[in-house]
Amino acid sequence: MVETYKRTSNPMMNRPVVKPELVEWMRESQTQLSGEITNVLEFAQTNNIPVIPHETVLYFQMLLSLMRPQRILEIGTAIGFSALMMSESAPNAEIVTIDRNPEMIALAKENLKQYDHRKQIILKEGDAAEVLTELTGTFDIIFMDSAKSKYVEFLPRALELLSDNGVILMDDIFQAGEILVPIMEIKRSQRALERGLRRLFDEVFNNPKYMTSVLPLGDGLLMIKKA
């Protein structure tokens, strides 16, 4: 759930990005996950490992059913929850997922071994900037859920890899509302992340090269498409 940003200088910041009761309603009233994927979700929740929230999962399921992608690229595997979710919704797609965290990679490998029954998912280990240069072909969906400060750096190569009618999705762009706060009022340790996101917004918003849409799902989801 998105937390309220506690600054009094801007009244809007005293409210969640989406009202908590609406988030609760979206998560409880919509179709619930079932089957083996719930085992991965329960492990993540028990061990406080962030995964995309329920409302974002349902959006992906809808999007994939409409787009019927042949290839999907994910930057940020974590334990493999989102890759497995996408494999269920796009059973004919090849999914390439990238991560560099050894602990997460180990957990992801176990989950993929157990639940990737159609062997759709290819796990690439290493720094995403390097792995992206090695990939060939095009992808219909590119999902970024990794270091937010790097989104803008990954964007040029992602666009090269994107199919003509493909979409790029970037998760957690709201940062609980901190994108609205002056950069010098943000904790020093968070400024690199915030600067990266603001460079991204400067690049894609009001740029005729792109179509963009910001979706208030989870902590914000940015969709980018070539114009």
Identify the pLDDT of residue 138.
98
Q: What is the pTM of this model?
A: 0.89
CA distance 137 to 152: 21
pLDDT value of residue 203: 96
Per-residue pLDDT of the chain (227 residues; tens, 9 = 90+): 334 334 334 443 444 457 888 889 988 999 999 999 999 999 999 999 999 999 999 999 999 999 999 999 999 999 999 999 999 999 999 999 999 999 999 999 999 999 999 999 999 999 999 999 999 999 999 999 999 999 999 999 999 999 999 999 999 999 988 888 999 999 898 899 999 999 999 999 999 999 999 999 999 999 999 99
Domains, the chain, with CATH or none: 31-226 (3.40.50.150)
How much is the pLDDT for 14? 46
pLDDT digits (tens, 9 = 90+) for 29-56: 999 999 999 999 999 999 999 999 999 9
pLDDT reported for residue 17: 58
Q: Which is nearest to 50 in space by CA: 70, 73, 24, 78?
A: 78
Assess contact for 132 and 157: CB atoms under 8 A.
Answer: yes
The pLDDT value recorded for residue 2 is: 39
